Amino acid sequence: MVNESISMEYTSAGIPVITDSVPGCRSSGYMVAVNTGSRDEHPEIFGLSHLLEHVVFRATKTRTSFQMSKEMEGAGGEMNAFTAKEMTAFYGVTIDSTANVAKDLVADIVSNPLIAKDDTELEKKIVLQEISMCENDPESYIHDLFDEVIWDGHELSQGEAGTRDVVNSLTNVDLREYYDERYRVPNLAVFACGSVDKDDVLRWAEENFDPMSGGRPNPRKAPVLTGSAYRYYKRKGDHCYVGMGFRAFDANDDDLPALTMLNAVLGSGSSSRLFQNVREEKALVYSIYNYVDQYTDAGSMGTYMSATEENVLDAIETTARTYRELKDGGLTDGELQRVKNLVKGALIRGMESTSRRLYTLAKGTMLVGKPRSLEERLSRLDAVTEEDVMRVAEKVIRPEGLNVVMYSDDVASMKDFKPTQLDF
């Protein structure tokens, strides 16, 4: 047992089953996570994990996609999936009285997908449109470009959607081979939260997923440390999108809570330093914020902004000065407690949604190997001191580790830009 509400047990085949029972909850959520994602693909199959995630919804051996949608919506629920760099997951959430529908449908798409040729060809058209949509949403696409630079040469640089040429070349035979190799024990984990019973969830997992044996674990290597870099990607338009940041800590690192606080001080919310310094005081950007990415063996902290051509270099330089002011001057009175409350408030509010709670439970467990309760996560944040934040700032915010990416049309002021010209 992890605590009174979260349990972690194992099926006879060794599948971890994590259940978060929430008293008084009137919805039930079930998820199967597969320990494979875009970092586990080689160049000939970039985007396969994501395409497969789509195709399994097309048809199972017992249902069409329309039948699945009709059953789930008729049960007052939703069913969806997502592909990340280190996992792919399928889930269903319904009202508590129709929980069996969610269990049946999630089990069906994970254990009985048809993966037919016609379905694969149809879904490829949809995925190609999704790739195009992402590339035409620069506020989202800048994250993919930043990953290409900060993880340059490593599998973490690979975007989840893949590339047009590779996705176009994939066949249902490729997908079936990948499914038969990866969608198996020991790569499966089962999660449930809300109005759920751990014994019932364990039985459901054993009946449906224990027979899926014979999988191959993904061999992974951690990225090696690289230096500073700047890369420019051209786009048409009069707006500039910038990502700048540093390698940081993996999800198991004891300093991750302190990094979370540092990240919040810099760029979480409209009272953050970057929002105030770059937007409110100088009006250099419309949007600016900080973000932390976590993986099992790596991590990063980045700042993202959008600015016009005449403001972009000043915005980057002001961001760097904000880094320096924090490192030189430390935290202000009450600043740490303010951002603790900000981060804790977001965590607590997120746990009030069954879908969000299910996602958080699965992501956290897949990253660190065990679930952490809300109380444990809040306690880890509360334990962070100002000294912890400043120590982490010195470790992470290093000029020799700064990576900068810009997605824009030609900008004269950035023509000869080098990260080393920034002073922090």
Pick the CATH number of 229-421 from 3.30.830.10, 3.30.230.70, 3.30.420.40, 3.40.50.720: 3.30.830.10
Q: What is the largest CA-CA distance in the chain?
A: 64
Q: What is the pTM of this model?
A: 0.93
Question: Could you give the CA distance from residue 91 to residue 107 in angstroms, rounded to a whole number?
Answer: 9
Instruction: Give strand pairing partners of 239.
Output: 308
- Cβ contacts of 7-11, under 8 Å, gap ≥ 24: 7/198, 8/365, 8/370, 8/371, 9/198, 9/202, 11/190, 11/202, 11/205, 11/206, 11/209, 11/210
> Residues in the chain, how many?
424
Question: Could you give the CA distance from residue 343 to residue 339 in angstroms, rounded to a whole number?
Answer: 6
Strands 27-34 and 88-95, by their bridges, are: antiparallel
> What was the pLDDT predicted at 211?
97
- Taking each helix axis from N to C end, the angle separating 335-350 and 354-368, rounded to the nearest 10 degrees, works out to 110
Alpha-carbon dihedral of residues 18, 23, 26, 30, nearest 10 degrees? Answer: 0
Q: What is the CA radius of gyration of the chain?
A: 23
Question: Could you give the CA distance from residue 157 to residue 306 in angstroms, rounded to a whole number?
Answer: 22
Do residues 183 and 215 make contact, with C-beta atoms less than 8 angstroms apart? yes
Instruction: Give strand pairing partners of 113.
Output: 60
> What was the pLDDT predicted at 2?
38
> What was the pLDDT predicted at 1?
31
Q: Where are the domains of the chain?
A: 6-209, 229-421
Question: Could you give the CA distance from residue 137 to residue 130 in angstroms, rounded to a whole number?
Answer: 11
294: left (phi over 0), alpha (psi -120 to 50) or beta: beta
The CATH topology of domain 6-209 is: Cytochrome Bc1 Complex; Chain A, domain 1 (3.30.830)
Q: Per-residue confidence of the chain (424 residues) as pLDDT tens digits?
A: 334 589 999 999 999 999 999 999 999 999 999 999 999 999 999 999 999 999 999 999 999 999 999 999 999 999 999 999 999 999 999 999 999 999 999 999 999 999 999 999 999 999 999 999 999 999 999 999 999 999 999 999 999 999 999 999 999 999 999 999 999 999 999 999 999 999 999 999 999 999 999 998 899 999 998 889 999 999 998 899 999 999 999 999 999 999 999 999 999 999 999 999 999 999 999 999 999 999 999 999 999 999 999 999 999 999 999 999 999 999 999 999 999 999 999 999 989 999 999 999 999 999 999 999 999 999 999 999 999 999 999 999 999 999 999 999 999 999 999 999 998 9
Cα angle for residues 267, 161, 68 (degrees, 5° grid): 105
Amino acid at 359: Y
Answer yes or no: same fold for 6-209 and 229-421.
yes
Q: Kindly list the strands in the beta sheet with 188-194, ordered across the sheet, starting from the edge strand earlier in the chain.
A: 6-10, 16-21, 188-194, 27-34, 88-95, 78-83
Question: Could you give the CA distance from residue 135 to residue 142 in angstroms, rounded to a whole number?
Answer: 9
End-to-end C-alpha distance for the chain, whole angstroms: 46
Cα angle for residues 255, 257, 262 (degrees, 5° grid): 90
Any residues with CB less than 8 A from the CB of 284 and at least 6 apart, and which? Answer: 278, 307, 311, 314, 315, 318
